[in-house]
Amino acid sequence: MGREAGESANGRTTGEVWAVRLGLGFLVFGLACRLFVYWLSFPIWRDEAALALNFVHRDFRGLLSELDNFQIAPLLFLWIEKAVYQWLGGSAGWLRLIPFLAGASALVLFWDLARRCLEPLPAAMALGILAVAQSPIQLASTIKPYSLDLLSATLLVTLAVRYLQSPQRYESLAALALAAPFAVVLSYPAIFVVGAVSLVLLPKVWTQGGRWSRSYFLAFNVLGIGVFLLHLRLVGNAGHDPALPVVRDFMAGYWQGGFLPRQPVSAFAWLIRSHVGHLFSYPLPFNGGGLVGLLFVLLGCRALYRQRRFEVLALCLLPFVLNFVAGAMHRYPYAGDQRIEQHLAPSICLLLGSGLADAVRRLTARIELAAVGLAAAFVSIGLADATFDALHPYHDNEAAWARDVAQFVRTQLREGDRIVLPHEDFFTLTCLRWQLLPFADRVAHTKNLASPPFLCANGRVWLLDQMLDLTVVPDEPLARDPLELLSRQARKHWRAIDRTRILTRQAVSKNDRAGYYFCCDLHVLEPSP
C-alpha cells in the first residue's frame, strides 16, 4: 500500500522532517555561539573574581565555610572549580571549562527534551530561542554555577518526561534517584525542579508503577530533599571573618528586589513588574521584552492545555510556583535577574516555542515560510551578539581596565621591582586583585615600605593607587600625592620619579553622559638618596 503524499519513509510528514532539520541547525548554531564566546576568553570580571579568589588561599575543607567577597555557591561546584584551579591552573579558560561544558550539554539535552514534550515545529522554535538566548550563552563562559542550574533543571525534567512516556519502565526513575543528590549540590535552585518533578510523577507512580518504580521514586525524594537540607545546613554557615557582615544577610539585601514585599499594594506592583520585566524576555533581555515573552508564554500554556499535555504543562509551571513561594518567604529571589533564573529557562523556552508556533499557525497558512523568517531572526540575533562580543571582548569596562593595568605592569616590571598597594586587599577591586595574582610574591602594602627588607632590597616600587567615582581626564594633574599615601616613617626613604594613569569610563546607563571612572595611578618610587 502506497504512502500518503508528503509522508516520509519513517512515517513523518515532510513538514515534520523539515522542522527537525531546522532544530538540528539551531543546535549546531547554538553550540557555535557558546564556543565562540568561550574562545574569546574575556578577562575575568568582578563577580567571577570575587568567587574565584576563594580558590586561591582555601583548601577543599575551607570552602565549607562562609565565602569571601560576599559569595554563595553550591559545594560540589566549588570543589570542582577548586580541583581545576589546583591541578590545571588559574587561567580563565580552565576555570570556565566546567560552566562551558554544562551550558553546551544543557543545549544538547534540551533538544531531546523539546522533541519529547512538543511537536516538531514548536520544539524547533523552543530550541532556537535557547540556542541564541543572550544570558545562557554568556553564562556558559562565566565562573559561576548558573549554567549548572540550567543543566540540572534540563536533566531532571528530561528524565521525568522519559518516565511519563514509558511508565511501565523504571530506568528513568532510577536515573532520577541517582541524579537528584548531585543536582542539588551543583545547583541551589534545582530543588524547585526536584519538587516539581515529584509532584507531577506522584500520580503516575502511585497508579501505574510497580514495586521497583515506587522504590526508586521514594529514593529520588529522600535523596534529593535530604541531601539538599544537609547541604543547606552544613555549607556556608561558619563565618570566615567575624569583622565582616554575614554573607547571607548581605545577599538578602542585594536580592531584595526578588522578594515579595510585605505590603499588599507593593506586592501587587511587584507581581506585575516581575512578570513583565526580564524574566520572560528571551532570547534578548530588553525593556518590553518581558511583556512580549509573557504573552507568548500564555499562548504556549493555552496550546499545551488544548493538546491535553497536562503533565508537560505542570512540569513547566510548578518550578515557577515553588520559586515564587521561596521568594515570598525571602529565601530565594524570584524574577530578580535572568542569571539566577536559569533553572526556569527550560520551562520558559518550551512555553515560548509552543506559543510562537501556535501564533504562526493561526496567523498564516504558509507555516514553513514563517518558520524560515523566524529562523533568520534567531540567527541574526546570534550573529549580532557574536559581532558585538568580537568588537568588545570583555564583560564590562572594569574588567578590561583591570586587565590593562596588569598588562602594563607586566611589561614594565623589572627584576627586583615590587608592587605596593596603599590599602588592604579587601578594598582593592576583586578583578584587579585577580589580575595581580601572577605577581603575588612581589605585592605588599604601604605599611611595609619602612621595614628593613624593603629598605635593603634593590629595585623600584610600583605604587598602585586605585581610585573610583572620579571625574578625571588622562592628563589631569596628580589626584593624590603618592608620598601622602605612605606612612610618615616611610616618606623619608622614598621619592616618586614617574606616574602612569590608566582609566576607563563606566556608564551607569545607556543614556548616562557623566558616569564614573575606574582609575589607577601607577607611581614609580625609588629610594631617596
Residues 440 and 497 reside in one and the same domain: yes
Q: Please state, for a pLDDT cut of 90, what percent of the chain lies above it.
A: 63
Confidence (pLDDT) at 483:
80
Instruction: Tell me the pLDDT band of 290, cut-offs 50, 70 and 90.
Output: very high
* 8 belongs to a structural domain: no
pLDDT at 140 over 70: yes
* 9 belongs to a structural domain: no
Confidence (pLDDT) at 366:
85
Map residue 263 onto helix, strand or coil. Answer: coil
Q: What does the pLDDT average to over 6-29?
A: 77
Mean pLDDT, all residues of the chain: 88
Confidence (pLDDT) at 53:
95
Confidence (pLDDT) at 292:
95
* 246 belongs to a structural domain: no
Last residue of a domain, one of 391, 414, 432: 391
Residues 401 and 294 reside in one and the same domain: no
Map residue 310 onto helix, strand or coil. Answer: helix
* 3 belongs to a structural domain: no
Last residue of a domain, one of 367, 391, 415: 391
Residues 458 and 429 reside in one and the same domain: yes
Burial of 111 (0-12, 13-18, 19+ CB in 10 A): buried
Distances (CA, A) of 391 to 284, 384, 385, 513: 19, 11, 10, 22
Residues 155 and 39 reside in one and the same domain: yes
Residues 285 and 419 reside in one and the same domain: no
Q: What does the pLDDT average to over 469-497?
A: 72
Residues 228 and 369 reside in one and the same domain: yes
Residues 339 and 454 reside in one and the same domain: no
Q: How many residues would you count in the chain?
A: 529
Range of the domain at 403: 397-527
Residues 71 and 117 reside in one and the same domain: yes
Map residue 422 onto helix, strand or coil. Answer: coil
List the one residue out of 294, 189, 185 whose CA is nearest residue 233.
185
Instruction: Tell me the pLDDT band of 251, cut-offs 50, 70 and 90.
Output: low
List the one residue out of 231, 145, 147 whose CA is nearest residue 181.
231
| Lowest-confidence region among 13-22, 154-163, 252-261, 448-457 | 448-457
Residues 72 and 205 reside in one and the same domain: yes
* 440 belongs to a structural domain: yes
Residues 275 and 351 reside in one and the same domain: yes
Cell numbers at residue 73, please? 555557591
Last residue of a domain, one of 342, 364, 391: 391
pLDDT at 287 over 50: yes
* 243 belongs to a structural domain: no
pLDDT at 513 over 70: no
* 167 belongs to a structural domain: yes
* 242 belongs to a structural domain: no
Residues 122 and 27 reside in one and the same domain: yes
Residues 112 and 257 reside in one and the same domain: yes
Instruction: Tell me the pLDDT band of 210, cut-offs 50, 70 and 90.
Output: confident
Domains held by the chain: number = 2
Cell numbers at residue 490, please? 616611610
User: Whole-angstrom Cα distance, residue 76 to residue 63?
Assistant: 10
